[in-house]
Structure 1
């Protein structure tokens, strides 16, 4: 009798958890790209495209910010983001929520933005977000479902016009976290391999790679090494680290010269930001 009631109890709890999950989270089979430009917000399926993109760099220099902003859960996030993004042409953010306060900040700023929506929580879109001084010529979303949680992690592929007549390709990635082994982890990284093979110009791959184990870090560096991609290093390295001591966030690049890099501490997120300045080759 007790076993019967225990089974029923587990069933009811599971049903309640599933129901609660469905009430809170909304996911899509086809990824969405939300664009914010000049106060206007528009959502496209899969890709955003423009025929009137302008050069993003500043006379051959490119200043970038890469940061997991922890869903804007800290009160000082927007003021800190304002300070850290000053003088940058590109900011690649992870765990960005397009809630009312963040959208208002974007509308009042000079930034344009594209978000790859991983899911919606209480109808607020969450995922990786690119902020740029000028809109990209193309931005496409990519999703990889977490095997256990069943919530996707997002990636955003974008192309930006450069003043030397070439283009910069960026991949803003939030890697899957809760997996047994590295199969799904590698699959997400390899989903961009055709771009890495074919593009010969400036390239940036950055974000929160959840590289908390030696196996994951080996896969990450192994995949990118095949395409002759370099990793940005930091003298004063304040990047967030797992209990293994391994950093979770990285910036990789190709086709540019690294001039400077920094990873300052910040109380505005559970991750510290990364910044780098490049010169176009």
Structure 2
């Protein structure tokens, strides 16, 4: 029996809230709560990082140094330890995590920290066919000062599989969300695109979704078999700065991207 897919929301001063998948996709606009926009003037700053379940001692210093000024922080392999929850709720209005699997004490999965409350939250999970462990993804949406809605996709892609059937299957529900959305999109995370088949599938998907790839002049992203694992894709936005932060605080280096808010079409 498959485990239920859900997200856990953490907000300062409130008990953790379990969020079930929505009854309708974002473009249907059914029952969306009113929300204050992301305070993204003049730039929208986004940090993307596989945090390696906080197994290395200096992960918090990296988050405090680079994450606290970001409007959005997209973490993969985020373990809901008290230290991470305290950081999230002290620096952000909301943190949403999709538990992929439960470790001895704390669930681990993708987590999106935001300086605005999401008006839409769709948790997704896909099981690794070989290890039988799950990988998670999260689709959230936030109002922008322009009046538009920003869709944010945080993903930790399937890693161990024969061929790309399950890899492509995980991207399918995300594509359904993006293709119907009229407005800017950010899709980022650890895509585990370590083979030619996987990178080709990912680029085909991005092309179908009309997403552009953020390029890094000094590319220090974690690689496997010579291919980067972490990516940031976007639509209807303009990139002002993009960098990779070199650190030993995880087995992945964080990606820091700034989008011009006035560049949102």
TM-score by length of 2: 0.91
Q: Which structure would you say has the larger Rg?
A: 1
Matched, 1:261 2:248: no
* 1:81 aligned residue: 63
Matched, 1:33 2:7: yes
1:123-162 residue CA offsets vs partner (Å, 9 max, x unmatched): 4111000001111101111000000111110000001110
- What RMSD, in angstroms, separates the aligned Cα atoms of the two structures? 1.8
> Take 2:178 and 2:85, find their aligned partners in 1: how far apart are those partners?
32
CA contact under 8 A between 1:69 and 1:271: conserved in structure 2? yes
1:163 to 115, 138, 145: 145
* 1:21 aligned residue: none
213 and 150 in structure 1: CA distance in 2 versus 1, 3 angstrom threshold: same
Task: Count the aligned residue pairs.
Answer: 254
1:214 to 184, 196, 204: 196
Gaps of 5+ in 1: 1-26
228 and 118 in structure 1: CA distance in 2 versus 1, 3 angstrom threshold: same
The SS at the match of 1:155 is: strand
CA contact under 8 A between 1:60 and 1:164: conserved in structure 2? no
> Take 1:28 and 1:78, find their aligned partners in 2: how far apart are those partners?
34
* Higher deviation after alignment, 151-160 or 107-116: 107-116
> Take 2:32 and 2:180, find their aligned partners in 1: how far apart are those partners?
21
- The 4+ residue runs of structure 1 with deviation greater than 4 A are 47-50
Measured after TM superposition, the shift of residue 111 of structure 1 is 4.5
> Take 1:273 and 1:151, find their aligned partners in 2: how far apart are those partners?
24
Matched, 1:141 2:115: no
TM-score by length of 1: 0.86
* 1:46 aligned residue: 21
